[in-house]
Structure 1
């Protein structure tokens, strides 16, 4: 398990060397959203640069609004998110954050999430879904349709129970960490995301070079017309 935080402009100035020294192993930063028009979080660039300078592995999330209720809506938001991620590298997943859709639009919100994640994956990103265990994954989404995607689950009372399989747990919204004034969300990660992401060339990292196949050769000896011949036969690739 690795302890981490997620942050946005609401945390103000973050002193990341202090955060790292306090045992924080990763940070998920807010890039922007569609819940108040379409916007980039005002602290996104500063937080990204600071995390990188401090050597803290980083992921990102995009907060969708209440009108993200169709596949087309999800794809459109994913394209906005992709523009924000361009030119950057993320050791942790990039997430769609769904909290505001009307529970009556459960099917449409699920369509939107699938469209979002598939668009991100097609662009070479390790994409996951953030939502609350009950008010999100149970009340606003059709969980059975989301088995293909990693999940980051919020539950401040206990470990998630409705969502049985998840890679990260947001366990508190009232954490206190050196280097941050006021409360901050505290997360636990159960996957070695940096290794998975880098090994597969995702999230802005280059694809590892594949080793060139080695030609095989065999030594043969044959006798023909009272003469003995020997040599190497080399595999043709």
Structure 2
């Protein structure tokens, strides 16, 4: 977990150098609220500039008013639930665990957060330079490299991938045909020839070498 805070105009002037010295790693700064751009937080520019100058990881948020469950779900990466544990079972990356924290450099109460995803690393693209396609990721998922359930969704999303697309490919692979079936389809010309065949087989999650070996056996 990565420790952080979130601030707004309610905190007024903040000594972000003292905040950083206290061990806080990131700060989420309110940019505004409501549905109008005119409702900008009057301390946003000051907070942002000074937090960056102090060397903190900085994020911004707009306090919105969800009017439906679907609307609210869009913002489910950041959960506020105060206590020693978070009981929310859905997908989230940040847990605001207190609204009455005390942090050097901040006057009065301060919201305290834990981040479970290194968003700074994601934003700075400190992730694999070569992006993997959904088919390749689906194979990795089946091999257990991305965890299960909500953990899988959180990790794929944090890495910048579309969880729904990858999961769809996983579901397709779970219903895929046997090597023998594919080899017979290759013989009938369903998968093309040469490099085209290799590409199509890989995209579908099959091993071209294994398939070709079975093709040779059948011929």
Task: Give the shorter-chain TM-score range.
Answer: 0.5 to 0.7
Question: Which structure has the higher relative contact order (CA within 8 Å, separation 6+)?
Answer: 1
Query: Deviation at 1:3?
Result: 0.6
Contact 1:159–1:169 (8 Å) recurs in 2:
no
- In the other structure, the counterpart of 1:32 is 32
Tell me the TM-score normalised to structure 1 length. 0.49
Residues 1-237 of structure 1: pairs in structure 2 closer than 5 A: 1-34=1-34, 38-65=38-65, 68-69=66-67, 109-113=68-72, 129=75, 151-199=77-125
CA separation of 1:18/1:64 partners in 2, compared to 1, >3 Å: closer, same or farther?
same
Runs of 4+ that moved beyond 3 A = 35-38, 110-114
Summarize deviations over 1:113-157 as a string: whole Å, max 9, x none.
56xx5xxxxxxxxxxx25xxxxxxxxxxxxxxxxxxxx1111112
Q: Secondary structure at the match of 1:5?
A: strand
Bigger helix share:
2
How many residue pairs align between the two structures? 130
Q: CA deviation at 1:38?
A: 4.1
SS at match of 1:159: coil
Per the normalisation by structure 2, the TM-score is: 0.53
Structure (1/2) with the larger strand percentage: 1
Change in 2 beyond 3 A, CA 1:8/1:52: same
State how far apart, in whole Å, the 2-side matches of 1:26 and 1:6 are: 9
Deviations, residues 15-69 of structure 1 (Å, cap 9, x unaligned)? 000000001000000001117884100000001101110110011111123xx53
The SS at the match of 1:162 is: coil
Please list every run of 5 or more consecutive structure 2 residues that lacks an aligned counterpart in the other structure.
132-219
**Equivalent position SS for 2:124:** helix
* Cα shift readout 1:158-208 (whole Å, capped 9, x = no counterpart): 32213343211111000001001110000011112111121189xxxxxx8
Distance 2:10 2:64 in 1: 17
SS in 2 for 1:41: coil
